[in-house]
Amino acid sequence: MSDTLIIAFGLVFDPYVLGVMLAAGAFGLFVGAMPGLTATLAVALLVPITFFMDPIPALAAIVATTAMAIFAGDLPGALLRIPGTPASAAYVDDTHKLTLQGKANLGLGTALVCAVIGGLVGASILAFTAPLLAEVALRFSTQEYFWLATFGLTCAAFVSTGKPVKGLVSLLLGLFIATIGIDIMAGQPRFTFGSVELMGGVSFIPAMIGMFAISEVLRWALGSTGGRDKTKPVRQATGAVFTAVLPIVRRYKIGLVRGSLGGTAIGILPGAGADIAAWVTYAISKKFSKEPEKYGTGHTEGLVDASSANNASLGGAWVPALVFGIPGDTITAIVIGILYMKGMNPGPMVMLNQPELLYAVFIAFFVANLILLPLGYIAIKSYGQMLRVPREVLMPIILILCMVGAFAINNTVFGVTVMLVLGIIAFIMEENGFPVAPAILGLVLGTMIERNFMQSMMKADGNLLAFFDRPIAATLGVITISIWVLVAAGAIRRFWRNRQSGALPSSAE
Amino acid sequence: MLRRTLLGAAAAVAAMGLGLATAEAAYPERPITIIVPWGAGGGTDATARILASLMEQELGQPVNVVNRTGGSGVVGHSAIATAEPDGYTLGIITVEIGMMHWAGLTDLTYEDYTPLALYNEDPAGVQVRADAEWETIDELLDFIRDNPPGTLTGSGTGQGGIWHLALAGMLQAAGMEPDRVPWVPSEGAAPGLQDLVAGGVDIITSSVPEAQSLIDAGRVKSLAIMAGERAHAFPEVPALPEIGVDWRLGAWRGVGGPVGLPDEVVDTLTPLIEQIHQMDEFRDFMEGRGFGMVYLGPDAYREFMAESNEALGGVMQELGLAQ
Amino acid sequence: MKFNDAILGLVVLLGGLAIILQARTFPPTYGQAYGPDLFPTIIGIGFVLSGIVLVIGGWRERQAVGWVDFQGVGLGRLVDAGIVLLYIIAFIFLAPRLGFLLTAGIGAWLLMVRFQEGRWLSSLLIAAAVTLAADWAFRVLLLVPLPQGWVLPRLPW
């Protein structure tokens, strides 16, 4: 094993490989910082280039690109409230409000440092336990995934703000949008109204751009928030990027550990990636925080958890991909294709014949996260210059980027239509106190919940007890239901207390 | 950026060096897009990407692969059919073109395309967990026959997809009712295989190459393929006719464009794809992954699609999957 | 633009009913206990119940809140928001015909002129530069096939 490790180190610490990683990292930063362009797209664009490379630099390029792209998604999120990738959406309100308070460098610095730490932790864990973890992930069938997704949905209760009923409406909206398109279970078109484009469903990316960016532009145009004439737009980003971050990291070190471990664990499961990792860890962080009311108002605590989690989750998806040839997410699906093109069939044969490959990937993750520190620093500094551009000029530019981003997901203007419609809906929702976060969560998890529920029921011929007849499923089910009971009990207790305290003055009347 | 420029230059030099037929024709003078109706990372996507890379190398123009997924293939196939017939938007047409319209999902048929070349066909296989009690396809079919319906479940694609048809057709050919093994729809072969290993389902009737890495891992075994004879790449897996079950079904992939592609385009691309089909890079890739290599030119491909369409329609009607 | 919860509740309630009605037309999956209508129906019921809660709550506070509150948004601001929406709609319909460069460029120019109150020359320069840069970055570097349209010739890069 140590020999393999040394060989793997030699493979990665090669000037050519490191050069490729640096270039790929800069590319990943650029793509991730564009609203709507995902880490997956960045990797897909690398495919024709990696075709001419050896396996190790090819894989290292992909690793570097994804690690940078996920962090870079925080940049437009913080500065413009437009998350660059879905994985940044969970904490966009916090980073953006920090920017409005003139603390852009604090927010982004925290995100950067936590992303680096999360990535390093994830890579180290995976390097030593990959085969074992892959074994556990393979035990997950539809029942387990159903409970996992349902647990994810519970997080909506924690990320939601304002009146609970409005959070519920928002969640239901996200779930409803997820049902549009051809239902995979029955092959039945639902809510498509004869549109071929809608048969493919509502893509997550244009929906997200619309709900965050377009609603933000509309709000600015109407002058209702962000102050078009009240205050002069955004204050300059001040303060050093790193020095202020250290106390925060020290203060929320538990969150850092929680986020890194949680992100790694979620990443290993096929079908759950960086976006779900960010949402779930953000919600857990808020649940256990001493000051949950500060979440979403420019608080760094949830940021610590979630930004370490989304980078930590990246490595996880590579485990089932390399060990069993099962893609953990869309990025690793492309990776598997590239490996095949190189004549290497992912699976245990790779582990037997070229064990250094798996270690090289995790070392590449390690290196990529170290490169992220200086590259991210430069990106924060230069991206901050955008704040100098007057909003009158910036907003039309943002609109162009949003339209191109929504277009690029499927290369049709239909994506732009989706963006427009959901942008208007999200604008009306936010104006009236409906939180947007639960809708995004519903959109992410809706298909997963429904599909796994239906699949399980088809296997069990409609017997609901099937959700408890496998040991892992039963455990997950009991945990999820206990959380529901606790949340419900807490809500009832609060309601009761409010009623009593509200009843006292009225009885004195 | 520099890398891309360098690559472009390299490709251009390569094209000049090989002295290709492109010299006499103006087409293509700008990048070509290949629409893939299935997701990135799948078999169709992988074959399209290698094809595109080699076309790019030969034509000296970028050939971009664009995934237009969703709607059980309807979205991507309709995007190919409705594209501008100028030769700059082509697509991968898959076996589903002969299924979707029978299922009532779309009006599109194979007649809505200009066929260029068929390049791949893979028969369905019968995969079970490696530690399953059945060692042969006979034992498996006997087990299904001797136990009540619903004892075993199958998966590997969506409801009414090609592998669902494969399972139902095999059961019927073996003298059983086609829904004796209920179908659990999945998003594709890979999630289905994962569920097989996790113990969620019992049979996956995907093609053998899709299960290759798990077969190598000793997690899955293939009991049969639904073809006339054994496959070149998997000589140890018997074909169904060997045990007296007369049933064959496969998935195929080909290149095509919208109706009315100019002759210039067809005349440039047809010999090019045939040439790529002979190239070592392409052969190595296809054989490395176990993809079946076939080649049919435009006319033969059109005839092939017509036959496939009729055959699939007949089976779907018999199985109650057609509208 | 703030509406009374009762108005939005009514929209949510009617939307929920529409979803339930539409879901009833989905054919059941043969031989299965649950069909494609199950989840939409549950979601629809959720919408209806939430809608009722919102209507009741909004009705109670109708005196305090009123029905619609424009929060002092003037006509000029409404026009601003309107042209933002118009820009996106114009892109959806015109970009496939006129191409990305013309549609996005002219739209961004008009928007900047409007927002900056005049200054058409600097706006023109910025809009042109941004559109060309976006075209280059996305079409050439990121291989996004932006709509070409019939008007302008393809740029040489």
Identify residue B15 by its one-letter amino acid code.
A
Residues C60, C88, single domain; the answer is no
pLDDT for B194 beyond 60: yes
Greater confidence, B258 or A225? B258
SS3 B64: strand
Give residue-wise pLDDT tens across range A33-56: 877 677 877 887 777 677 678 888
Residue B75 and residue B156 share a domain: no
* pLDDT tens for each residue of A392-406: 888 898 899 889 888
The mean pLDDT value for A85-114 works out to: 87
Interface contact flag, C27 A176, Cβ < 8 Å = no
Chains touching C (3+ CB pairs < 8 Å): A, B
Chain C residue with minimum CA distance to A45 = C142
Kindly state the average pLDDT of the residues A169-189: 87
Rg from Cα positions in chain B: 21
B171 CB contacts (<8 Å, ≥6 apart)?
B144, B177, B178, B179, B180, B181
Strands B89-94 and B32-36 turn out to be parallel
- Extract the tokens encoding B40: 């990135």
Q: Are B253 and A384 in contact (CB under 8 A)?
A: no
State which of A188-197, A290-299, B108-117 shows the largest mean pLDDT. B108-117
Give the count of beta carbons closer than 10 Å to the beta carbon of residue B310: 11
Domain coordinates in residue numbering, chain A: 2-235+242-499
Single-letter code of the amino acid located at A68: M
Contact A21, A367 (CB under 8 A): yes
Order the strands of the B113-123 sheet from edge to edge. B63-67, B32-36, B89-94, B250-258, B113-123, B293-296
Backbone angles phi, psi at A406, to 5 degrees: -70, -35
Is C155 inside a domain boundary?
A: no
Last residue of a domain, one of C42, C69, C96: C69
By C-alpha distance, the chain C residue nearest B67 is C144
- C115·A172 Cβ contact <8 A: no
A335 CB within 8 Å of a chain C CB: no
Give the pLDDT score at A321: 78
B216 part of a folded domain? yes
Q: Given an 8 Å threshold on Cβ–Cβ distance, is C43 in contact with A454?
A: no
User: B149 with B239, same domain?
Assistant: yes
Q: How far apart are CA A94 and CA A305, in angstroms?
A: 12
Q: At B6, which amino acid appears?
A: L
Interface contact B71, partner A, CB < 8 A: yes
User: To which H or E segment does residue B115 belong?
Assistant: strand B113-123
Measured between beta carbons, the chain C residues lying within 8 angstroms of B30 are 154
Q: What are the residues whose beta carbons fall under 8 Å from the beta carbon of A325, sequence distance 6 or more?
A: A336, A345, A346, A347, B212, B213, B214, B217
Is B182 an 8 Å CB contact of chain C? yes
CA Rg value for chain A: 23
Strand B89-94 and strand B63-67: pairing? unpaired
Q: Same domain for B202 and B264?
A: no
Give the mutation candidate from C26, C29, C32, C143 for the B interface (greatest B CB count, under 10 A): C143
Please give the structure tokens belonging to residue B286.
């296809």
- Residue pair B161/B124 in contact (Cβ under 8 Å)? The answer is no
CA–CA dist B321, C1 (Å, integer): 50
Query: B55 with B108, same domain?
Result: yes
Q: Count CB neighbours of A327 within 10 A.
A: 28
* Mean per-residue pLDDT, B273-284: 92
B9 pLDDT above the threshold of 70: no
Contact C85, A425 (CB under 8 A): no
Token digits of residue A20: 């490729």
Nearest C-alpha in B relative to C157: B30
CB C25 within 8 A of CB A194: no
Alpha-carbon torsion A24, A25, A26, A31, what sign?
positive
More confident residue, A73 or A410: A73
Whether residue C79 lies inside any domain: the answer is: yes
C143/B179 CB distance under 8 A: no
Q: Write out chain C residues lying below 8 Å of A400, CB-based.
A: 104, 108, 130-131, 134
For chain A, what's the residue count? 509
CB < 8 Å from B in window 132-191 of A: 138-144, 181-182, 184-187, 189
> Residues A320-364: pLDDT tens digits?
777 777 766 777 877 877 776 676 767 666 666 677 888 888 889
Contact A169 C5 (CB under 8 A): no
Are C30 and B320 in contact (CB < 8 Å)?
yes
DSSP state of B147: S
To which H or E segment does residue A197 belong?
Answer: helix A196-199
Length of chain C, please? 157
pLDDT at B255: 96
Domain presence at residue C152: no
- Confidence at B94, pLDDT banded by 50, 70, 90: very high
Q: Which residues of C touch A165 (CB under 8 A)?
A: 50, 53-54, 57
Which site among C13, C14, C41, C50 would you substitute to test the A interface, given the most A Cβ atoms closer than 10 Å to its Cβ? C50
Residue B143 pLDDT class (50, 70, 90 cuts): very high
Interface test with C, best of A392, A400, A450 (most C CBs within 10 A): A400
Would residue C84 count as lying in a domain? yes
Domain stops at, among B183, B212, B243? B243
Does residue C151 form part of some domain?
no
Helix, strand or coil, per DSSP, at residue A162: coil
Task: Please check whether residues C62 and C109 belong to one and the same domain.
Answer: no
The whole-angstrom distance between C21's CA and the closest CA on chain B is: 22
Are the beta carbons of A36 and A45 closer than 8 angstroms? no
B207 and B189 Cβ atoms separated by less than 8 Å: yes
Report percent pLDDT > 70 for chain C.
95
Domain, as residue range, for C121: 75-141
B64–C29 CB contact, under 8 Å: no
- State whether residue A455 sits within 8 Å of chain B by CB: yes
Q: What is the pLDDT of residue B20?
A: 41
Instruction: Give the pLDDT confidence score for residue A308 in this predicted structure.
Output: 92
How many beta-carbon pairs under 8 angstroms link B with C?
Answer: 15
pLDDT of residue B113: 96
Q: Are C61 and C87 found together in one domain? A: no
Q: Which of B1, B4, B33 sits opposite C145 (nearest CB)?
A: B33
Identify the burial level of C27 via C-beta atoms within 10 angstroms of its C-beta, where 0-12 means exposed, 13-18 middle and 19 or more buried.
Answer: exposed
Residue A233, pLDDT above cutoff 60: no
Q: Inform me whether the C-beta atom of residue B319 falls under 8 Å from chain A C-beta atoms.
A: no
**B34–chain C nearest CA distance, Å:** 11
Phi, psi of A98 (to 5 degrees): -60, -40
Q: B121-136: per-residue pLDDT in tens?
A: 999 999 999 999 999 9
Looking at residue B102, which CATH number applies to its domain? 3.40.190.150
| A248 contacts: CB under 8 Å, gap ≥ 6 | A106, A110, A300, A304
In this model, does residue A456 exceed pLDDT 80? yes
Q: Is B45 on the interface with A (CB under 8 A)?
A: yes
Q: Which residues of chain A have a CB within 8 Å of the CB of C70? A: none
**Most confidently predicted of A16-25, A121-130, B56-65:** A16-25
Q: What is the pLDDT of residue C69?
A: 79
Distance CA(A268)–CA(A122), nearest Å, equals: 10
Which pLDDT belongs to residue B23?
A: 41
Residue B8: pLDDT above 80?
no
A44 in reach of chain B (CB within 8 A) = yes
Q: B243, B271, B297: which is the final residue of a domain? A: B243
pLDDT band at A1 (very low <50, low <70, confident <90, very high): low
User: Which of B63, B67, B159 should one mutate to test binding to chain C, selecting the residue with the greatest count of C CBs within 10 A?
Assistant: B159
Which residues partner with B64 through β-bridges?
B33
Does residue C132 belong to any structural domain of this protein?
Answer: yes
- Exposure pattern of B9-48 as b/e (b: 16+ CB <10 Å)? eebeeebeeeebebeeeebbeebbbbbbbbbbbbbbbbbb
CA dist., res. A417 & res. B86, Å (int): 26
Domain count, chain B: 2
pLDDT the model gives residue A502? 52
Residues in C touching A31 (Cβ below 8 Å): 142
Q: Which comes out higher in pLDDT, residue C25 or C71?
A: C25
Are B268 and B219 contained in the same domain?
no
The number of domains in chain C is: 2
In contact, C149 and C99? CB cutoff 8 Å: yes
Looking at every residue in chain A, the average pLDDT score rounds to 82
pLDDT of residue A328: 67
Cα distance between residue C32 and residue B257, in whole Å = 39
Q: State the pLDDT at residue A503.
A: 45
Q: Tell whether the model's pLDDT for residue C31 goes beyond 70.
A: no
Same-domain check for residues C82 and C136? yes
What's the rounded mean pLDDT across residues A478-484? 87
Residue A341 to residue B78, Cβ atoms within 8 A: no
Chain B residue closest in CA terms to A136: B198
B118: closest CA among B248, B307, B262, B313? B307
pLDDT digits (tens, 9 = 90+) for A276-285: 889 889 988 8
Q: Is the pLDDT of residue B57 over 50?
A: yes
Tell me the C-alpha distance between C19 and C37, whole Å: 10
pLDDT in tens, A352-368: 667 788 888 888 988 99
Confidence of residue A268 (pLDDT cuts 50, 70, 90): confident
* H or E element, residue C45: helix C38-60
Between positions 165 and 184 of A, the ones with CB within 8 A of C are 165-166, 168-169, 172, 175-176, 179, 183
pLDDT of residue C145 exceeding 90: no
Cα nearest neighbour of C145 on chain A: A411
Task: Give the pLDDT band of residue B190 (cuts 50, 70, 90).
Answer: confident
Statement to judge: residues C42 and C87 lie in one domain: no
Per-residue pLDDT at C56 exceeds 50: yes
Give yes or no for residue B271 having a pLDDT over 70: yes
Average pLDDT over residues A86-93: 86
B135 and B205 part of one domain: yes
Q: Do residues B69 and B172 both lie within one domain?
A: no
Closest among A375, A319, A414, A376 to A110, alpha carbons compared: A376
pLDDT tens digits, one per residue of B25-52 = 478 887 888 999 887 667 788 889 889 9
Alpha helices in A34-141 (DSSP H): 39-50, 55-72, 74-80, 92-100, 104-137
Same domain, yes or no, for C84 and C56?
no
Give the Cα separation of B237 and B128 in Å (integer).
13
DSSP B238: P
d(CA A436, CA B41): 32
User: What does the pLDDT read at residue A351?
Assistant: 66
Whether A217 and C33 lie within 8 Å, measured CB to CB: no
Within 223-262 of A, beta carbons closer than 8 Å to B belong to none
Residues C48 and C80 in one domain: no
Q: Which helix (H) or strand (E) holds B167?
A: helix B162-173
Give the pLDDT confidence score for residue B240 in this predicted structure: 94
Is the domain of C40 the same as that of C89? no
Report which listed range, A97-106, A478-487, B167-176, C145-154, is most confident: B167-176
Say whether pLDDT at A302 is over 60: yes
Chain A residue whose CA is closest to B219: A324
End-of-domain residue from the set C69, C94, C114: C69
Question: Residue A335's closest chain B neighbor by CA?
Answer: B41
Q: Is the pLDDT of residue A255 over 50?
A: yes
Residue B86 maps to a domain: yes
Structural domain for B279, as ranges: 2-9+32-121+251-319
pLDDT band at B1 (very low <50, low <70, confident <90, very high): very low
A419 touches chain C (CB under 8 A): yes
Chain C residues in contact with B31 (beta carbon < 8 A): 143, 145
Are the beta carbons of C29 and B320 separated by less than 8 Å? Answer: no
Which stretches does DSSP call E strand in chain C? 2-3, 68-69
CB-based burial label for B133 (10 Å; 0-12, 13-18, 19+): exposed
Name the domain boundary from B243, B263, B295: B243
Read off the pLDDT of residues C84-127 as tens digits, 9 standing for 90 and up: 999 999 999 999 889 999 999 999 999 999 888 778 888 999 99
Task: State the pLDDT at residue B70.
Answer: 74
